Structure 1
Amino acid sequence: MQTNPRAADDHQSPEDAPGSLTLVGAVSLGTGVMIGAGIFALTGQTARLAGNWFPAAFVAAAVVVALSAYSYVKLSNAYPSSGGVAKFLREEYGPGAATGVFAILMYVSMVISQSLVARTFGAYVLQIVGLEPVSLWVPVFAIGLLATAFVVNVAGNRAIEVSQRSMAAVKIIGLGVFAVVGLWLASGANFTNGTSAAGLDTSAEGFLAAVALAILAYKGFTTITNSGGDIVDPHRNTGRAIVIALGICTVVYLAIATAVAGNLSLPEILAAEDFSLAEAARPALGGAGVWFTVSLAIVATASGVMASIFASSRLLAMLTRMKQVPHRDFGMPGTVRIHATVYTVAFAMALAATLDLSRIAALGAIYYLIMDIAIHWGLLTRLRDRIDFNPAIVIAAIVLDVVVLAAFVWVKAADDALSLYVAGAGIVVIVAGERLLMRSHTRADGTMDM
C-alpha cells in the first residue's frame, strides 16, 4: 500500500523538551522501571518455574536482553524520539496496520507491567499493615499508587527526573545492603534443597519459561528509548543509558536472587511468592529486616510505576500523532500527552483491579516478546541500507526470543491455558481494531492519509 510523503520529520513530539533529561536521569528512568518491576515482582514466579535454578534464569535473561538491546541501541542512535518503539516500527514497516499492531502490543505490555508492579506494591505493604482480606487490599493499594504516579507524571519531566534519581539511589544502595547481608548469612544447603519438597518437576522448558518471565525484569530499558526526544545529545546518550542501566540491573538481580536462594528453601520462597524478598530478610535480620525490605520495595515499586507511566504515555501520544490509534479528549483540558497519561493510568487501574500477579506477568511476557521479535525482524530485513549493524547479533536475538516464547507458551498451555486464551483474544482485538482504523485513513486510490 502506498503512503503520502510526509512534509516534516515526525519523530519529534510538540510536547518534547529536548535536553531536559540528562544521561543520569535517563539511566535512573530505566533502572527505576527495571528494578521496580523485576526483582520484587518476579522472584517467586521464576522460582516456581525454574526451581533452585531461578537465579540462573535471571542471568540467562540478561544474556537474551543484552542481544536484544543491540537492536534498540542502533535504532535509538538513528531515530531518537519520544515515540521510541513506535518510531522504530514506523521506520521499519511504514505507516499501517503492522506498525500499529506491534506498537500497541508494546504499549499494552508496558501498562501490564505497571499493574504488575502496582499489585506487588500492595502485596509488600500488607506485610507490615496487616489488613484483611488480601484480595481486597492489594488492588486498593495498587490503585492508590497508580493515582499518585499520575500526579507526579502530570507535574512534568523535571518532577520525574528528580523523583527517579533520588529513588534510584535509595533502591540501589538499599538492595546492595540487602544483598551483602543476605549473601553473608546465606546457607549453602538452601541452594540445593527444596525442589522435590516443593512438589516441582523442573525441566528445560520450565527453565526457559522462567527466562521468558525474567526478561520482563529487564524490558524497562525500552523506557529509555521512549524518552529520546528529551535526552541531552540523544544520538549518543540514548544508547549509553541503555547499556549502563542494563549493566546495573544485571548485577543487582544476580546478587538479590542469590541472597534469596541462600536464605529460604524453595518451599518457603513459593509460599511467599508475591513478597519473597521480605520473607528472605526474616531469617537474617528478623522483624527489622522485614520492615527494611518492605520500605525498599515500596520505594522501588513506586518509582517503577512512575517511570513506566512516563514512557508508556509518550508512546501512546506518539501513536496518536501517527494516526495509528484513535483519539478522543472527552472534554479534558491539556495536551495529547496528558490525555494519553489519563488513558494509561485508567487502563492500568482496571488490570490491577481484576487480574492476579501471575496472569498479568504471563500476558506481559507474551506481548513483549512478540513485539521484540518484530523489532529485530524489521531491522534485519528493512533497514540494512540505512543503519550499520551486525546481522549475526540480530539473528541470535530473534532465535533466543522465539525459543523462550515457545517454551513459555508450552508451559502455560499445561498449567494456565486461560492466560493463553486471554492473550490470544487480546491480539485478535488489537489486529481487528487496527485494520479497521487503517481503512478510515485509506483513500480510493490506495494511498493513506497518515
Structure 2
Amino acid sequence: MTKDYVENSITLPGAVAMGTGVMIGAGIFALTGQIAELAGPLFPLSFIAGAVVTAFSAYTYVKMSNAFPSAGGIGMILKKAYGPTTVAAGAALLMALSMVISESLVARTFGTYTLQAFGGDPDSVLVPLLGIGLIVFAYLLNASGTRSVGLWSIVMAVLKVGGIASFGAAGLWASGISFEATGGELGVGGFVASVALSILAFKGFTTITNSGAEITEPHRNVGRAIVWSIAVCVVVYLLVAFAVGSNLPLDRIVAAKDYALAEAAQPALGQTGFYLTVALALVATASGLVASVFAVSRMLAMLSDMKMIPHSHFGMPGRIKDHTLVYTVVVAAFLTVFFDLSRIASLGAFFYLVMVMIIHFGVFRHLREEIGAKGWVLLTAIALDASVLAAFTGMKWQSDPLIVVTGIVGMALVFLFVGIFLARNPVRERAHEQH
C-alpha cells in the first residue's frame, strides 16, 4: 500500500484547501440559484441552516477520523460500524456516487459560466462538452501525482476564497447593503427542502476524511481541517448570498439559477465585474473538480482493496487507484452529458443524505463508546438529516417525480449490486486488517 498512499504528503493547509476547493466549487456557483428557487427570499439563511446540519454530521466524521484516520475515509467508517456487509458497501458506494454526481454538477457549471463570458446559450450542447474538457483536465492533473494535487489545491483555494469574498464584499458595498431579493413565497417546506442543497454545498469536507492516511499528523489534523474548511465556507457563502440578493430581485435569481453570480455581478460591478466573476467561477469549479476526483478515486481504490466492491482492470496497466481514477471521470462525464444541473443536484442530495444517516446510525449503535462520541449529537444529526430529506423529497415529488423515482431505483440497484457481489465473494475476516 505504500505505493498507493503516501503518508505525510498532504499538509494541514493542503487538506483545508482541498475541502474548501470541493465545497466552494459546487456550493456557490452551481447551487445558489437553485437554493433561492426553493427557499425564496430567505435563501441566504438556508446556508446557515445547512452549516448547522453539516456541523452535526461533521462531529461523526471528526470523531471517527481522529480515532481511525484512513485513505478509505467513509469506507473505513462504514466497515468499522457494520463490518464487511451489504449495508457498509452499499452506503460507501452511495457516497462515492454522490461525489461523482457533484463532479458532473461542477463540470456543467464550468461550461455554463464559460459560455456566459461569450454570450452563449446556457442550454447549448457546448455546456456538457466544455464540462467534459474540464473532467479530462482534472484526470490529467490527478494522474500526475498526489503532491501536484496538494500544491494546486492550495494555490487555487487562496485565489478563489480571496476573490469570491472580495466579490461578496464589493457587491454589498455597490448595492448600499439593501436586500432586493424580496417577494415570493415564504413556505417552511420550501425552506427546509432548500437545506438539502445547502448541505450538498458543504459536503466537500468529506474529501478530507477520504484522504486521512495521507495528511500529516492525521489524528489531529483531519478534524482540524474539517472544522476550518466548513468555517471558511460559511463566511464565503453568506457574503456571496447577500451580495446576490442585494443586486438582483428574486425572480431574476431564479431565472438565472445556473449562473446567478455572473448575473448579479453586472449590475453591481459593471462589465468588468461580470468578467471577473466568470473568471472566478472557472477557477473555483476547476479546482473543486480536481480535488473531488482525487478523493473519490482514492475511496474507490480502498473499497476495491477491501474486497467490498468488484474491480476489473479492463486491460489497463497500473495500480488499482489508476483504474478507479479512470472510472471516476468516465461516470462523471456520462452524467455531465445526460443530466441538467437541477437533476444532478437532486440526485446527489438523495444519495448523500441517505448515506450519512446510515453512518450516524452505525456509529451510534456500535462505536460511540469506543470513540467517545455523545449519543445525543448522533441522534440529532439523524433527525436533522431525515427532516431535510423528507421535505426535499416531497418538494421534488411535486415538481419532478422522475428524479425521485430515479433516486430510489438507483439506491436500490446499488445495494442489490453489492449484495450479490458480497454473497458470491465473502470478505475474509482479516482482509482489511493491514489498513
TM range (shorter): over 0.9
Tell me the percent identity.
Answer: 49
TM-score by length of 2: 0.97
Conserved? CA contact 1:121–1:301, under 8 Å: yes
Q: Equivalent of 2:60, from 54, 68, 71?
A: 71
Q: Number of aligned residue pairs: give it.
A: 432
Conserved? CA contact 2:116–2:122, under 8 Å: no
Output the aligned Cα RMSD.
1.6
**Which residue of structure 2 lines up, in the alignment, with residue 293 of structure 1?**
277
CA–CA separation in structure 2 for the residues paired with 1:133 and 1:298: 15
1:129 deviates by 2.3
**Which residue of structure 2 lines up, in the alignment, with residue 4 of structure 1?**
none
Shift in alpha-carbon separation, 1:431–1:189, aligned structure 2, 3 A: same
For the pair 1:143 / 2:132, whether they are aligned, the reply is yes
CA–CA separation in structure 2 for the residues paired with 1:129 and 1:80: 45
**Unaligned regions of 5+ residues in structure 1, if any?**
1-11, 196-200
1:323 deviates by 1.1
Q: Secondary structure at the match of 1:185?
A: helix
CA–CA separation in structure 1 for the residues paired with 2:39 and 2:130: 30
Conserved? CA contact 1:212–1:365, under 8 Å: yes
Matches within 5 A, 1:175-324: 175-186=164-175, 190-191=179-180, 193-195=182-184, 201-324=185-308
Letter in 2 for 1:286: G
Matches within 5 A, 1:326-405: 326-405=310-389
For the pair 1:414 / 2:403, whether they are aligned, the reply is no
Conserved? CA contact 2:181–2:245, under 8 Å: no
Shift in alpha-carbon separation, 1:447–1:230, aligned structure 2, 3 A: closer
For the pair 1:51 / 2:35, whether they are aligned, the reply is no
CA–CA separation in structure 2 for the residues paired with 1:316 and 1:432: 18
1:59 deviates by 0.6
Conserved? CA contact 1:185–1:284, under 8 Å: yes
Shift in alpha-carbon separation, 1:101–1:259, aligned structure 2, 3 A: same
CA–CA separation in structure 2 for the residues paired with 1:269 and 1:120: 15
Conserved? CA contact 2:41–2:186, under 8 Å: no
**Which residue of structure 1 lines up, in the alignment, with residue 414 of structure 2?**
430
Letter in 2 for 1:312: V
CA–CA separation in structure 2 for the residues paired with 1:13 and 1:406: 43
1:14 deviates by 4.9
1:414 deviates by 0.5
1:131 deviates by 4.0
**Unaligned regions of 5+ residues in structure 2, if any?**
none
CA–CA separation in structure 2 for the residues paired with 1:133 and 1:287: 19
CA–CA separation in structure 1 for the residues paired with 2:359 and 2:296: 17
Shift in alpha-carbon separation, 1:129–1:353, aligned structure 2, 3 A: same
CA–CA separation in structure 2 for the residues paired with 1:359 and 1:425: 15
Shift in alpha-carbon separation, 1:133–1:122, aligned structure 2, 3 A: closer
Shift in alpha-carbon separation, 1:275–1:13, aligned structure 2, 3 A: farther
Q: Equivalent of 1:107, from 96, 103, 113?
A: 96
TM-score by length of 1: 0.93
